[in-house]
Amino acid sequence: MPDIESLLKEKRTFKPSPEFSRQANWNKRTTNEYRKLGAKNPTRFWAKMARENVEWFTPWKKVLDWKPPFAKWFVGAKTNVSYNCLDRHLEGENAWRRNKAAIIWEGEPGDSRVLTYAELHREVCRFANVLKARGVKKGDRVCLYMPMIPELAIAMLACSRIGAPHSIVFGGFSAEALADRINDAQAKLVVTADGGYRKGTAFALKTTVDAALEKTPCVETTIVVKRTGEPVAFRSGRDLWWHEVMADASTRCPAAKLDAEHPLFILYTSGTTGNPKGILHTTGGYLTHVTTTFKAIFDIKDEDVYWCTADIGWITGHSYVVYGPLSNGATTVMYEGTPTHPGPDRWWSLIEKWGISIFYTAPTAIRTFIRLGDELPKAHDLSSLRLLGTVGEPINPEAWMWYHRVIGRRRCPIVDTWWQTETGGIMISAIPGAVETKPGSATLPFPGIHADIFDEEGKAVKGEGGGFLVVTHPWPGMLRGIWGDKKRYKETYWGKYKDTYFAGDGAHRDKAGYFWIMGRIDDVMNISGHRIGTMEVESALVSSPDVAEAAVVGRPDEITGTAIVAFVSPKDTAKPGPDLVDRLKRHVAQEIGAIARPAEIRFTNALPKTRSGKIMRRLLRDIASGREVAGDTSTLEDFSVLARLRESEED
């Protein structure tokens, strides 16, 4: 793997500055102490964190009940995520936070809204009462399909307050994708908005919901936030305006005392088959994991203004825009729109405007800004920044250095955080006041996280070496299952190695024990930090009447990390050409969403297959990235297919 080569030539290291370490929530001494405890006795470590960082109504009887691959954390304990994110900041010694900004929100057109902890609490209670009034009970699923507006956070916290698991569907998904997710979770109620703003224009959401609801008999109610004011159709008896139902809802709603293992949310993510997986997270363990990692890794202080640029529709938004920050009593910034609207320096002007001190974003965004030049960030006062983070994909050392130099002005530590929808919270990351960083490495597993590297046979790679990234001991934020599919849960994550979590990523460990994540090794592509299964795109393509067969692979892309290339074998009746290319790209966007739109479509009469009929993706990947076809082709069924594929290059 050429990537490993280049990363391992990376010799630069950055020690935490004494000034940063002195003020850090976790300094070297604490971190080492926790590391030792976590290595020897992970359950004791996490129990300590749970006691220190989370409020419980009833203590647990047992920290961990592990019947592989099913884990229960904090057995018998009762707590509430919404209570931990809100109520505990309004009482006792924290009561001064009542009027502290909980959410600073900025809309794309430039409008803004600041919600204090007391205000947010009132809004959440009101919406929780609205949900109850519409018949939503503990355990009922609520689907949230919304733009990045404060009402999304309010709805999440209201759901968690009454124990109704939410399923957030990213606003960029199509009606098809939305309907599938609503049906899989059997959601009873959908919260949406008329639309939102992106790239300077209003986009519609309610119309997409209307189309999806044609196929979802389980939905009884939709609640619609008025955001853009664009006209929408309303079905009486089913559709309600948010502002109308909120108007006379009571601001009092006690937080339900929920079992630590009560479902908190479902979040759909791509896997190696065409069907997205509903990743299930529960209450007490997840809360402990995100609260602890947020405090340690983002070094949060009451004075900080923290901004994570992720959309709440992804796990990063769940854990580190909403739950982790709020349970720590932090001020979290939410921005509605695109990074480059109205000008390419919007993000830097937001940092300057709100005095953001901690900034967490994705490598793909960093690479985009590198291309736009140093002048834009240099024109802004970014002196409020004190800590930077990245997530979602491997960061190439040069992008890391740019981030360090141009955004962090060489003062700010960078935490490169590796984790997944399935892990709930960060698993591998530097602790900024304690751990020396290396550009391109996520550094070391968080205390209490037993990450390791296995070879194909399931033997742990000792010392320096590469292989499959695994976790050998359960952790509190781990997924508890795939919604409605125990078998798939077992096979996907626990089927490769005995009692060991298989992450689907390749990784390398250097002499110092640092982890260098190499990216996905299965049929999942990482496009701008978003996971998209090759099978999902293939299923979308073959659902077109023009396509007989399709194979989808990723090829390296400078900005998005990976770009989607689709090899399509058209039906005899189809007319391959630029028109069909356009049509198919649009078709995929319609079936899944714009994030899955192929960058390139190549037509071919046949796909290269093994004798047993399996598509040879390795070959297609080589062709897609313009590499010489390497490796063993002895099982290839039809050699001439290869030559024809290369000629099919789209112009």
Q: How far is the CB of 165 from ligand WTA (least distance, A)?
A: 18
The nearer residue to ligand WTA, 417 or 569, going by C-beta atoms, is: 417
Tokens 């640029």, residue located: 309
For the CA atoms of 479, 49, 431, 156, the dihedral, rounded to the nearest 10 degrees, stands at 50
The nearer residue to ligand WTA, 157 or 414, going by C-beta atoms, is: 414
Out of 56, 242, 314, 400, point to the residue binding ligand WTA (CB under 6 A).
Answer: 314
At 109, which amino acid appears? Answer: P
Q: How far is the CB of 315 from ligand WTA (least distance, A)?
A: 5
Q: CA dist 579 to 53, 448, 576, 601, Å?
A: 57, 54, 8, 11
Please identify the residue of the shown chain whose CB is closest to the bound ligand WTA. 421
Interface with ligand WTA includes 441 (CB under 6 A)? no
Q: From residue 325 to residue 364, what is the string marking binding to ligand WTA with x (rule CB under 6 A)?
A: ----------------------------------------
- Give the separation between CA 276 and CA 23, rounded to whole angstroms: 43
Q: How far is the CB of 369 from ligand WTA (least distance, A)?
A: 18
Interface with ligand WTA includes 170 (CB under 6 A)? no
Out of 122, 295, 404, 531, point to the residue binding ligand WTA (CB under 6 A).
Answer: 531
The nearer residue to ligand WTA, 174 or 269, going by C-beta atoms, is: 269
Piece in contact with ligand WTA (CB under 6 A), picked from 43-51, 155-163, 497-505, 561-569 = 497-505
Q: Which of 142, 93, 143, 91 is nearest to 118 (CA)?
A: 91
Interface with ligand WTA includes 323 (CB under 6 A)? no
Tokens of 51: 């006691």
The nearer residue to ligand WTA, 492 or 526, going by C-beta atoms, is: 526
- Give the separation between CA 83 and CA 576, rounded to whole angstroms: 57
Interface with ligand WTA includes 376 (CB under 6 A)? no
Which parts of 261-280 interact with ligand WTA (CB under 6 A)?
269
Q: End-to-end distance of the chain based on CA atoms, in angstroms?
A: 29
Interface with ligand WTA includes 299 (CB under 6 A)? no
Q: Which helix (H) or strand (E) holds 348?
A: helix 346-354
- The size of the interface with ligand WTA (CB under 6 A), counted in residues, is 23
Interface with ligand WTA includes 286 (CB under 6 A)? no
Neighbours of 613 (CB within 10 A): 7
The nearer residue to ligand WTA, 84 or 421, going by C-beta atoms, is: 421
- Give the separation between CA 616 and CA 636, rounded to whole angstroms: 8
Neighbours of 40 (CB within 10 A): 9
Q: How far is the CB of 20 from ligand WTA (least distance, A)?
A: 21
Q: Is the peptide bond before 342 cis (omega within 30 degrees of 0)?
A: yes
Interface with ligand WTA includes 316 (CB under 6 A)? yes
The nearer residue to ligand WTA, 21 or 423, going by C-beta atoms, is: 423
Q: How many residues does the chain have?
A: 651
Out of 394, 467, 554, 576, point to the residue binding ligand WTA (CB under 6 A).
Answer: 394
Neighbours of 375 (CB within 10 A): 10
Out of 184, 299, 352, 505, point to the residue binding ligand WTA (CB under 6 A).
Answer: 505
Tokens of 5: 């080569």
Which parts of 465-494 interact with ligand WTA (CB under 6 A)?
none
Interface with ligand WTA includes 418 (CB under 6 A)? yes
Interface with ligand WTA includes 421 (CB under 6 A)? yes
Identify the sign of the CA torsion 577, 578, 579, 582: positive
Longest dimension (CA), the chain: 75
Residue 362 has φ and ψ, to the nearest 5°, of -110, 145
- Give the separation between CA 489 and CA 53, rounded to whole angstroms: 30
- Residues in touch with ligand WTA (CB under 6 A): 269, 314-316, 391-394, 416-421, 442, 503-505, 517, 519-520, 526, 531
